[in-house]
Amino acid sequence: MIRRCFFRVLILTCLGIISWLHLSAPLMAQEPDVLPGTQRLTLEGDIASHLVSGVDRFLLREVETSAERRLARWKPDTSSLEAYQRWLEPRRNRLAHILGVRDPRASVPALEYQATTREPALLARGPQYEVHLVRWPAFGDVHGEGLLLVPVNREPLANVVAIPDADQTPEQLAGLQAGLPPDSQVARRLAESGCRVVVPALLSRKLEPRNGRAVLTHREFIYRSAYELGRHILGYEIQKVLAVVDWFTTESQLRANNAAKASPRIGLVGYGEGGLIALYAAALDPRIQSVCVGGCFGDRRDVWRQPVDRNVFGLLEDFGDAEVAAMILPRQIVVEACKAPEVTLPGSGGAPGRLITPPLSEVEAECARARRLAGPFARTRKPDGSEQDNLIVVGQPDLSFNASAQALTAFLQPFGVLDRVEELPKLLRSLPDAEARQRRQLHELDRHNQWLLSESPYVRQQFIKPLWEAAKSLESYEKEAERYRRIFAEEVIGRFDYPLLPANPRTRKLFDEPKWTGYEVVLDVYPDVIAYGILLLPKRMKGDEKRPVVVCQHGLEGRPVETITGDHPAYHDFAAKLAERGFITFSPQNLYIFGDRFRTLQRKANPIQKTLFSVIVPQHQQIVNWLKTLPNVDGERIGFYGLSYGGKSAMRIPPLVKEYCLSICSADFNEWVWKNASSRSPYSYVFTGEYEIFEFDLGSTFNYAEMAALIAPRPFMVERGHFDGVAPDETVAYEFAKVRHLYQARLGLGDRVAIEWFVGPHTIHGKGTFEFLHRHLRWPEPR
């Protein structure tokens, strides 16, 4: 009996010890608060907000130093005027490219009078000139419209295009409609002096709801589709002006009856938006002998604050206003420092923006910079031996004095003198319907954008053809794909040529769950730029065991924690579920959070030929570099899985971060160019508040099929819910069919490409994609 009791006590004691050891194991093997080999993360507050603010500072520095970068590349050959012009030629081509001046201009044998059965084209008559309503073919099916002021019984002193601001009418410049003081009625003043003048109507800044959704100006509405297709509202209006210059040239040659020796006197005058168009047009076309611009010239580095229809991709990398002016010299430039159009756009779905008057000191400083850039061509030696400044600044320190008469006098100097006649022209019929004219212009430009969209698949086919043809072997394909990846990195995404900083990892434990531990991680990338995310490490990994990693990317306005906990309706804790399956996961914080705060980052990046992904890509490069240093990470098995804006990331990051051995695009893959450029589809971004979403010239280069070709031959998958509001099934299938053709028919790698359709909305489904990850990351599925 004693022995039996002794053994019972012994067994109970052992069971108690075992039970105590089991219960206390988590405490005894508790995961460290800081990952080994890292410093403690002490950053407090909203780290995502710190991240966005740091990138903002970084981009503002890049914008600020853009003039220095331009100066370092400005090495002209000034040995002769001919040599200087040859040196400028590729810069003219570059400026034309980024402004979207690409479409062949129509032949303009004559302007067309706009008359009806009720009213003639002759609108008004002034002292020794007439005013006619006209239009002219510009490019495609697009026409310019406006006024022609033509001298009567005399040869034109000069041929001038007088370009109003976007919110002015041609009739105001001709003195036929109220709104401008007499000295600012530049078309009338020039016609009185004997000039033949064409005044085009510009698209206005009128705000309207588009398709019942975002409130956009007419200009932003056209800009959005055009930008995606490699065109620009500024380029379209430059083309309309240059079509008139073509007509002036033809007319002058006919009048001279000797085309070889004809030298037409052609000038441009512009104010506000019209001044900007005149400046760029004169830089592009050496036929323009004199240009006068007002209310627009200055330091272009604040372009990101201006209306988005002035956003030109890469402008500040090559062209401030001084560089553009230097491209015009030694032809004459008159810069009128006057009160600019002052505009504030609220951003009711469209991009917020403002226009303010540049101070006289800023205008003069930019003109001084232009003179230095042009060197000997900033001045011209006159026959009497004296020198003449070819860049003339007219204005007053307080900018309150209306200097138009002084500016026009200087502008006409190469051609003649400015007359002063106080008599206004007399109307001979009713004024044209300005609103109807705006509607026609809007319709024609929108139709041109949509025609370009319909042609864009054929343009992309030609662009990508060498890569498709290289798919005869993996070796030749990879070699050619590298060339396209460089184009994608430099011309579409934009790449900073800076080395990554030492990562200096900082971590702290955030989660301690039964199957995994979560750590917040911050890494340095560039000065002021950090990468941030949450690392999930499965528990009970062996010391030398190597596991695959899935980088789990959130969508718009998302946060890493939403991919882990809380059962967000879009993410369903997919990072945590993958960790429970044995994958290491990392959920990064991408930049697209805080509304206008991140959207204005795109505005700051675009003028220096960068995008949000110019920062996001190096952030991810630093992330994978660091992940590869972790003892349990297999650096050859790191995959990317992103939803929505994270799916957009899945198409843009893995092509350039080669450590991602596969990519899964969830709830985003579709005919992306169509989604961004269509003004017919209800799915289109043209009608929404995502004003940062548009990427320059994707229509001619990389749609999603072409981006997927840069991921190939690595595995690629699409996850698609039938009721996802991103796009209809048919556009997803259309674009994916091209990807499937590449992998299966050309590369013979059909097992590396997949799409899963499921009945559901904009969400992670986590069925076929999880199987895809297990298979291609070579990790066994749970039993």
Q: For position 20, what pLDDT does the model report?
A: 34
Return the SS3 of 663: strand
Total residue length of the chain: 783
- Residue-wise pLDDT tens digits, 214-243: 999 999 999 999 999 999 999 999 999 999
- Residue-wise pLDDT tens digits, 471-501: 999 999 999 999 999 999 999 999 999 999 9
For strands 716-721 and 529-538, give the pairing.
Answer: unpaired
CA torsion 144→146→151→156, rounded to 10°? Answer: -30
DSSP 570-615: TTTTHHHHHHHTT-EEEEE--S--STHHHHHHHHHHGGGT--THHH
Tell me what the mean pLDDT of segment 753-767 comes to. Answer: 98
Q: Which residues of 561-594 are buried (b: 16+ CB within 10 A; e: fewer)?
A: bbbbbeebebbbbbbbbbbbbbbbbbbbbbbbbb
- The model's confidence at residue 25, banded by pLDDT at 50, 70 and 90, is very low
Q: For position 783, what pLDDT does the model report?
A: 84
- The model's confidence at residue 21, banded by pLDDT at 50, 70 and 90, is very low
Q: How far is CA 53 from CA 48, 128, 776, in A?
A: 9, 61, 37
Of residues 583, 603, 573, 575, the one with CA closest to residue 591: 603
DSSP 699-751: GGS--HHHHHHHHTTS-EEEEEETT-TTS-HHHHHHHHHHHHIIIIIISS-GG
Q: With a cut of 70, say whether residue 195 has pLDDT above it.
A: yes
Find all residues with CB under 8 Å of 712, minimum gap 6, and list them. 477, 481, 742, 743, 747, 749, 752
Residue 137 structure tokens: 């073919």
Which has more pLDDT, 21 or 31? 31
Find all residues with CB under 8 Å of 46, minimum gap 6, and list them. none
SS (H, E, C) 369-402: HHHHHHHHHHEEECCCCCEEECEEEEECCCCCCC
Q: For position 3, what pLDDT does the model report?
A: 37
Q: Which residues of 153-192 are buried (b: 16+ CB within 10 A; e: fewer)?
A: eeebbbbbbbbbbbbbbbbbbbbbbeebeeebbbbbbbbb
Tell me what the mean pLDDT of segment 63-90 comes to. Answer: 97
Q: For position 23, what pLDDT does the model report?
A: 32
Q: For position 16, what pLDDT does the model report?
A: 40
Tell me what the mean pLDDT of segment 524-539 comes to. Answer: 98
Tell me what the mean pLDDT of segment 200-207 comes to. Answer: 98
Q: With a cut of 90, say whether residue 382 has pLDDT above it.
A: no
* d(C-alpha 672, C-alpha 78), whole Å: 46
User: Across all residues in the chain, what is the average pLDDT?
Assistant: 93
Q: With a cut of 50, say whether residue 8 has pLDDT above it.
A: no
- Residue-wise pLDDT tens digits, 290-314: 999 999 999 999 999 999 999 999 9
- Residue-wise pLDDT tens digits, 644-656: 999 999 999 999 9
* d(C-alpha 772, C-alpha 778), whole Å: 10
- Residue-wise pLDDT tens digits, 151-179: 999 999 999 999 999 999 999 999 999 99
> Which helix or strand (DSSP H or E) is residue 492 part of?
none
Tell me what the mean pLDDT of segment 334-347 comes to. Answer: 94
Q: For position 384, what pLDDT does the model report?
A: 73
Q: For position 336, what pLDDT does the model report?
A: 94
Which own/partner contact pairs does 177-180 have at CB distance under 8 Å and 24+ positions apart? 177/431
CA torsion 45→47→52→56, rounded to 10°? Answer: 70
In terms of pTM, does the model score above 0.85? yes
> Which helix or strand (DSSP H or E) is residue 771 part of?
helix 768-776
Q: For position 10, what pLDDT does the model report?
A: 34
